[in-house]
Amino acid sequence: MIREVPLPLEFAELDGLVHYVQRKSSEEYCSSCPRCGGEVHPDGELSDRFIMLMPFRSKAGIPFGFCRICNYKWWAGKEAGARVDQATMDKLAAQAREAEERRATERKAKLAAFSTKELWEELHRRMGDDQRAWWRENGVPDEWQNYLRLGYTEDKAYRRGDELFHSPAYTIPYFGYKFTFKTMQYRLCNPNNPSDRYRFEADLGTSYYMATPSLQVGDQVVICEGAKKAMVTHIYAADDALTVLAVPSKGDWKSCGALEAVKDCGRVWVWFDPDCYIQPDNATGNWLPAPVQFAKEIGKNARVIESAVKADDAFLHYGMTDTEWKALKKTAVKI
C-alpha cells in the first residue's frame, strides 16, 4: 500500500482541499479530488483519483492536476488571486524535508537488501532462450545481455490506479560506476496499458542509466531517452571515446542525477525521442522541448540532436552507418 505523504510545495494552493496525498514517483503524486472528493477504499487503499503532475512531467510545463472520475482539471494560478500564505509554505516545506529523510532511510535499507541478495544476478539467470532472443532482436547481443545483467521475471505485480495487475517483465538493473547498484527497472511484457510499460522498483526511485558501468563517465557523452536506446547506441555507434547514458524519460532528466554526472564533460549530445518536440495545445508561452531545457541546464558544452526517428530505430531499422552517425552529431545544435 502506498502511504500518505505531505502535499508538494508546487501544489500549495490545494492545501486543505485534497487529502490522502501519495507519491507515485518524483514526477507524479495523487490524492482525493478537490471537487468530487474520494475516501479510503474498503480494502484500505487510499483515494488516488486526482493525479498531480510536477512541472517537468506536465506537458504545459507547470504544476497540473486532473481527476480520473469527474474530469476536473487544475493548474497553478487557475483561481484568480490565489495566494498561499508564508505559514502554509513553511509548514509544507518542513513536512517535505521530513518525508525526504524518511524516503532516504527506506531507500538505503532496500538498496542494502537488493545488494545483499544480489537479486539482479538471480533475475539474469532466469532468462531463457525466448527472452535472450527478444533482446537480440532489439539490438542487444548475448554478451551485452550478460555484461549488463539483464534479466526476466515471470510475475511482476504492479498497480494502475486502484487495480493490481500482474505481468511477466524484463528487468534492467541500473548501475553506477564499478557496477554499484542504484535501482531496478521493469519492462512489462503484457501491460494493462501498452503505453505504460516501464516501472521502477518501489522505494528505490529513478536514476540515469550507464551503458558501460565498468567505465567512468568520459569527456564526450551522448544522453538518450531510455535505457534500451542507450544500449543500442553504444553497441552500434561503436565509438570507445563516447560514454552513452540515458535518462528514464523526457520528463525525468532533472531528478535522475544526469546533470551532476555530466557537469564536467567537454561535450554532451542530448538525443531524445522525436515526440518531445511536439508542443502540447495547453503549453504556456515559455514552453521549450525537454532536450532544449536539459541542454540549457547542462550549459555551453551541450548540443541537441534532433532526428525524425528514435535512437535505436536509427541503427536497427534504418541501418545508420558510422559515417551517417558522425554526420548526425555534426548537425547537433548549440542552445
CATH code for the domain of 222 = 3.40.1360.10
Whether 218 and 332 map to the same domain: the answer is yes
Poorest-confidence range of 211-215, 218-222, 250-254?
Answer: 250-254
pLDDT range class, residue 157, cuts 50, 70, 90: confident
Who has greater pLDDT, 285 or 314?
A: 314
* Residue closest to 221 by CA, chosen among 254, 246, 185: 246
Mean of pLDDT over the chain: 88
* Residue closest to 221 by CA, chosen among 229, 256, 25, 230: 230
Whether 173 and 266 map to the same domain: the answer is no
Distance CA 292, CA 302 (A): 9
CB 98 within 8 A of CB 106: no
Residue range 117-136: mean pLDDT, rounded:
88
Residue 4 lies in a domain: no
Residues forming a β-bridge with 225: 247
Residue range 152-158: mean pLDDT, rounded:
90
Whether 257 and 332 map to the same domain: the answer is yes
Residue range 135-149: mean pLDDT, rounded:
97
Distance CA 133, CA 285 (A): 47
Residue 77 lies in a domain: yes
Range of the domain at 330: 207-335
pLDDT of residue 113: 62
Instruction: For residue 150, give the C-alpha cell.
Output: 539483464
Q: Is the pLDDT of residue 5 over 80?
A: yes
Who has greater pLDDT, 164 or 116?
A: 164
φ/ψ (deg, to 5) at 55: -55, -40
φ/ψ (deg, to 5) at 98: -65, -45
Sheet of 209-210: strand order equals 209-210, 242-247, 220-225, 267-271, 302-304, 333-334
pLDDT winner (highest mean) among 45-49, 157-161, 164-168, 268-272: 268-272
Instruction: Tell me how crowded residue 268 is: count the other CB atoms within 10 A of its CB.
Output: 26
Q: Is the pLDDT of residue 81 over 60?
A: no
Residue 2 lies in a domain: no
Q: Is the pLDDT of residue 122 over 70?
A: yes
pLDDT range class, residue 1, cuts 50, 70, 90: very low
Q: Is the pLDDT of residue 98 over 80?
A: no
For the chain, state the CA radius of gyration. 21
- Give whole-number Cα distances, 275 to 120, 308, 309, in Å: 32, 9, 9
**Number of domains forming the structure of the chain:** 3
pLDDT range class, residue 86, cuts 50, 70, 90: confident
Reported as type and span, the H/E element at residue 173 is strand 163-176
**Which of 164, 179, 205 is the last residue in one of the domains?**
205
Whether 199 and 123 map to the same domain: the answer is yes
| Tens digit of each residue's pLDDT (9 = 90 or more) over 296-322 | 999 999 999 999 999 999 999 999 999
Residue range 79-92: mean pLDDT, rounded:
66
pTM over 0.85: no
Whether 332 and 304 map to the same domain: the answer is yes
pLDDT of residue 116: 43
Distance CA 245, CA 179 (A): 14
CB 109 within 8 A of CB 117: no
Residue 3 lies in a domain: no
Q: Is the pLDDT of residue 291 over 90?
A: yes
